[in-house]
A = this chain, B = another copy of it.
Amino acid sequence: MTDGVKRLLLGKKLPSSELSETLLPKRIALPVFASDALSSVAYAPDEIILTLSLAGMAALTFSWWVGILVAVVMLVVVASYRQNVREYPSGGGNYEVATVNLGPNAGLTVASALMVDYVLTVAVSVSSGVQNAKAALPFLIGHEGWVAATIIAVLMAINLRGVRESGTVFAIPTYAFMLGVLVMIGYGLLRVVVLGEHLASPTSQYEVVGDPRYQQFTGVLMMFLLARAFSSGCAALTGVEAISNGVPAFRKPKSRNAATTLLLLGTIAVSMLLGIIALANLTGVRVLDDSGGAYFTLNGVRQDVHVDTVMGQLAGTVFSDFRPGFYFVVATTMVILFLAANTAFNGFPVLGAILARDGFLPRQLHTRGDRLAFSNGIVMLAVSAIALALAFNADVTKLIQLYVVGVFVSFTLSQLGMLRHWGRHLKTETDPRECSRMQRSRIINAVGLTMTATVLIVILIAKFTHGAWMAILAMTVVFAVMKGINRHYRAVARETAWSPGVKRTLPSRVHAVVVVSQLNRPTLRAVMFAKGTRPSTIEAITVSVDPEETERVVAQWQAADLGVPLRVIASPYREVVGPVVTYVRDLRKTSPRDVVSVYVPELVVGHWWESVLHNQTGLILRTRLHFAPGVMVTSVPYLLKSSEVAIDRLEREDPLAYRLIGTAPTDHEGALRDD
């Protein structure tokens, strides 16, 4: 895309000096990093209830217990993560904790799990947002997949602008959502409990007939269904780790602020979750997993009706006497769900950069783009999320099945890591007060570990066949790929490692070879440059494809008398590249300690379509000659007038880069100049 458009979309560049400015105060950090965890209360209750409804009315009453269980797990996890944040403020988060305490493989496992879940977070949140939007905008029905994809693309653009803008952009709606939901819950409970009104949700009239397979709602089957409901409900916990990965983005004191934000988040999320489930029970909200076998009946007659999300139904019911309230809640829910995806857009690139730094991902991911955000990672995330949204046509209930597994893998491993961590420090620690603090923390993490490990097992059992296997497969693949990349980088590093012992052989002689197709200014320039480097020997070579053509070149060459001999190479196959490569390789073979320096004249043109018409041969020649040892390939550019267009464009693209040189510090120079 052209510079103008790019800037328009991504805003102006920020130099490092402004990096500190992008640090977040708590009031901004909360919405930026917590929108995921908060927004999940918009779909977690739905998933709990619709899973239970597979067993018909009887099961629905259990939503209470499932909800409370989820809340408890949430609080425990938050409590233990406050320890992580304090002890590992560098933003490595679970990955760092696991790597440091359990070794690289554990770390990499966590990393793979997180990466997969970041992608799922984006896909699930945006999809749920679209599902909610359908209540207000029915014309979306049928195009969920593409709508979700578009929204993800927009989020990508916003995030390529950098984290700070997104902070301010996302603060208002997040707070609006909290306000809306909490007021809704409060007002709802007021009307029902205090004023004793009878509030009935639009779906409360229906009877739920369960899936025949779950008709016997007893014993193992019941346990299993409850487990599934619980696992889906645990989606509410995702996003907690986002804060621990984002610590560096907090204002000082980073750890403290992060920990406080985490606690804040936990409390709000839990109260929302329980509040909504409470209201849902009081107003008799019903939802169905339409992929399951359950259905509605009214006076025994089967009903096939479109039901809104729990949030939508509650808002409608509670604010039955105050329409604006309904619209406010639905709108903010929709928005926050889109913004929740942003959490991943903040977390994923940071993780990607850390992994790239450690050599598990391509180096490009480490170097930042011309905004402070890690552009490459952002794009990578967006693309995979879009693919997922399209593949599942933005069906939340289906996506949820893949979800959560990764989060709990990383939860569990990082808690295990923390235990080790405390163990190590307790050995060395002498100060009794510190010791007792560590003891406390260790207990917290131990509880956290037990809890998360149990949940992980439950999830694996309950969800494996329902889609968790896909998530696990994806993680394994990601793990393997990163492992492979790392192995490759390490091998290359070993192979190319510098050591004082490496012998520094100066090439004894340099043979310059100028590749000539015809005698024109670019060729002349190449010859002159080659001569300018004063090589030991210099010659021009031309490949004879078309005899007359060759004769002409030879004649011209003789006339021109450039003081450089021209060698004609036969080519029975009318190939140009092959013969040149062979000739150069043989030249080198005859004198191994020498260097052959091949000069290729190149036309520099301005438009892409021009380059289709030029330099094709030169291009192939360069790539092929790369494989000839001891051969340097020098392209000597000849700028055509049209190239000015391109130069102007490049200068417009980063005008600052071209003024840099003034500001370049030369401090190392004095120390190193030795001529």
A281 at the binding interface (Cβ < 8 Å)? no
Who on chain B is nearest to A594 by CB?
Answer: B532
Residue contact A521 to B502, C-beta cutoff 8 Å: yes
* A91 → B minimal CB distance (Å): 16
Question: Bound complex: CA of A574 vs CA of B664, how far in Å?
Answer: 13
The reply to whether the CB of A613 lies closer than 8 angstroms to some CB of chain B is yes
Cβ of A216 within 8 Å of any chain B Cβ, yes or no, is: no
A195 sits at the interface (CB 8 A): no
Residues of B within 8 A of A657 (CB): 573, 575, 578-579, 581-582
- Among A12-20, A59-67, A207-215, A411-419, the one that faces the other chain is A12-20
Please name the residue on chain B nearest to A651 by beta carbon: B627
Measured CA separation A504–B585 after assembly (Å)? 30
Contact between chains at B565 and A675 (CB < 8 Å): yes
In the complex, the answer to whether B664 meets A583 with C-beta atoms within 8 Å is yes
Q: Which one of B570, B622, B658 contacts A663 once the chains associate, using CB atoms below 8 Å?
A: B570
Q: Which of B498, B627, B639 contacts A519 (CB 8 A)?
A: B498
Residues of B within 8 A of A581 (CB): 657-658
Tell me if A506 and B532 are in contact (CB < 8 A).
yes
Are the C-beta atoms of A529 and B507 separated by less than 8 Å? yes
Stretch at the interface among A251-259, A271-279, A287-295, A484-492: A484-492
Give the residue name and chain of the B residue nearest to A372 (CB): B574
A637 touches B643 (CB 8 A): no
A627 B613 Cβ-Cβ under 8 A: no
Is A506 in contact with B521, judged by CB distance below 8 angstroms? Answer: no
The answer to whether the Cβ of A150 comes within 8 Å of any Cβ in the partner chain is no
In the complex, what residue of chain B is closest to A550 when comparing beta carbons?
Answer: B668
Name the distance in Å between A554's Cβ and chain B's nearest Cβ.
5
- What is the distance, in angstroms, from A672's C-beta to the closest C-beta of chain B? 5
Q: Which of under 10, 10 to 19, 20 to 34, or 35 or more describes the interface residues of A?
A: 35 or more
Which of A13, A641, A658 has its CB near the most chain B CB atoms (within 10 A)?
Answer: A658
B573 touching A13 by the CB < 8 A rule? yes
Which B residues are in CB contact (< 8 Å) with A367? 545, 574-576
Q: Are A520 and B498 in contact (CB under 8 A)?
A: yes
Q: What chain B residues lie within 8 Å of A569 (beta carbons)?
A: 660-661, 664
Q: Are A17 and B636 in contact (CB under 8 A)?
A: no
A652-675 contacts to B, CB under 8 A, are 654, 656-661, 663-669, 671-675
Which one of A431-439, A456-464, A596-604 is at the B interface? Answer: A596-604
Check A510/B524 contact, CB under 8 A, given A571-B660, A632-B636, A674-B563: no
In this assembly, does A268 line the interface, its C-beta being within 8 Å of a C-beta of chain B? Answer: no
Interface of A is mostly: mixed
- Which among B522, B533, B559, B660 is the interface contact of A578 at CB below 8 angstroms? B660
Q: Is the CB of A504 within 8 A of B522?
A: no
List residues of chain B with CB within 8 A of the CB of A631: 637
Please tell me if A425 contacts chain B, counting CB pairs below 8 Å: no
> Would you call B582 and A613 a contact (CB within 8 A)?
no
In the assembled complex, A465 has its CB within 8 A of some CB on chain B: no
What is the bound-complex CA distance between A533 and B507, given in angstroms? 9
> A residues bordering B, Cβ < 8 Å?
13, 15-17, 362-364, 367-368, 370, 485, 488-489, 492-493, 495-498, 500, 502, 504-507, 510, 519-524, 528-529, 531-535, 545, 554, 556-563, 565-576, 578-579, 581-583, 585-586, 595, 597, 599, 602-604, 610, 612-614, 616, 622, 624, 626-629, 631-641, 643, 646-647, 650, 654, 656-661, 663-669, 671-675
Those 10 A-B pairs whose CB atoms lie nearest each other, nearest first: A578-B657, A15-B572, A507-B532, A634-B634, A565-B673, A496-B520, A496-B521, A565-B672, A368-B574, A626-B637
**23 A-B pairs (CB sep. < 8 Å):** A16-B574, A17-B572, A364-B616, A367-B545, A367-B575, A495-B521, A496-B520, A497-B521, A502-B521, A534-B534, A557-B672, A567-B666, A569-B661, A573-B654, A575-B654, A578-B654, A578-B657, A579-B660, A579-B664, A581-B658, A582-B657, A627-B639, A627-B646
